Structures are given as structure tokens and as C-alpha cells.
């Protein structure tokens, strides 16, 4: 083996070793969002999430009541779309920053919800004045609390 080939082999070996020693880059969070086929604001919310680093798979279904029931979304916290991400539920027009916070803090909850369709929330922007609204955290026992206020 020539010296040049040996040096190249050692360089490649060192490069591979250093790449293996590097911490894995965090993958973008992947979200599956269920929505009624005719809902336009759901797509706008999905765009908001994508703009904030999330990968969003949109699933159009006429079975939204079933989706919400199976996910454990309390009826009083319902909205127009339901998303799942990393073991959590995100119901409605929740800002991406709240989803990021939930994923970082990992609270012992089922998920978070922006009940109804608050004007001015992500996907519900428009020419009308924005409403103040709360994002609610909820658990499997039916307990709920204010996760954040906007």
C-alpha cells in the first residue's frame, strides 16, 4: 500500500469516527393533522406549523367526531382539527410556540387545545380584531388548566 493511499485511508477513518461521535441532529417533529375535507383554516394552521419547523401530514376525513373521541379530546375543548405529535394531542389553532414548549417540557398531559376557533389565532388571522384566548392543557382524568394565554 502506498503512503498516499494509507494517508487517505487514515483520513477517511478519522472522518468517519468523528461523524459517529457527533450527537445526532434533532429531526423535525412530525405531526399528523386530521381535518374535515372542506375546512380552509386547517390548511392555514398546517402552514403556520411548517413555517415553524414542523413536518405536517394532513389527513382529510369526515369522521372528526370519532377522531376527537379516540384521541381523548374533551368535547368542551374541541375545535376544527386534531393533530398528534410525539404522543400528544394538539387540538385546534394552537400556536407553534406552545407546541414547541409542550414538547420541550413534556408535561404529564394528554395534550393542549385552543378551544373553538379564536379570531387572530394561527390560521384564523383576518381583517377583524384578534381575540384574547387561552390554550388549555388537559389530562386523561378530565383535569384542565391554562397552559398559555394569547
CATH code of 51's domain: 3.40.30.10
In a domain, 14, yes or no: no
pLDDT, residue 142, reads 87
pLDDT, residue 29, reads 66
pLDDT, residue 54, reads 97
pTM of the model: 0.81
Q: How far apart are CA 88 and CA 66, in angstroms?
A: 17
Distance (Å) of CA 62 to CA 35, 36, 37, 55, 66: 8, 6, 7, 23, 9
In a domain, 65, yes or no: yes
pLDDT, residue 20, reads 40
- Nearest-CA neighbor of 80 among 113, 129, 32, 56? 113
In a domain, 15, yes or no: no
Which structural domain range is residue 36 located in? Answer: 30-149
pLDDT, residue 80, reads 94
In a domain, 17, yes or no: no
In a domain, 4, yes or no: no
**What residues of the chain score a pLDDT lower than 50?**
1-25
In a domain, 25, yes or no: no
Amino acid at each position: 500500500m502506498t503512503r498516499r493511499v494509507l494517508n487517505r485511508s487514515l483520513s477517511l477513518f478519522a472522518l468517519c469516527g468523528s461523524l459517529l461521535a457527533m450527537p445526532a441532529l434533532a429531526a423535525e417533529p412530525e405531526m399528523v393533522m386530521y381535518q374535515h375535507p372542506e375546512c380552509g383554516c386547517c390548511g392555514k394552521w398546517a402552514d403556520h406549523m411548517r413555517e415553524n419547523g414542523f413536518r405536517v401530514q394532513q389527513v382529510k376525513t369526515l369522521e372528526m367526531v370519532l377522531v376527537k373521541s379516540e384521541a381523548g379530546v374533551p368535547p368542551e375543548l374541541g375545535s376544527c382539527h386534531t393533530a398528534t405529535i410525539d404522543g400528544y394531542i394538539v387540538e385546534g389553532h394552537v400556536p407553534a410556540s406552545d407546541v414547541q414548549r409542550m414538547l420541550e417540557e413534556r408535561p404529564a398531559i394528554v395534550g393542549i387545545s385552543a378551544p373553538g376557533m379564536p379570531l387572530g389565532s394561527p390560521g384564523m388571522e383576518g381583517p377583524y380584531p384578534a381575540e384574547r384566548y387561552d390554550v388549555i392543557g388537559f389530562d386523561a382524568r378530565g383535569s384542565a388548566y391554562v397552559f398559555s394565554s394569547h
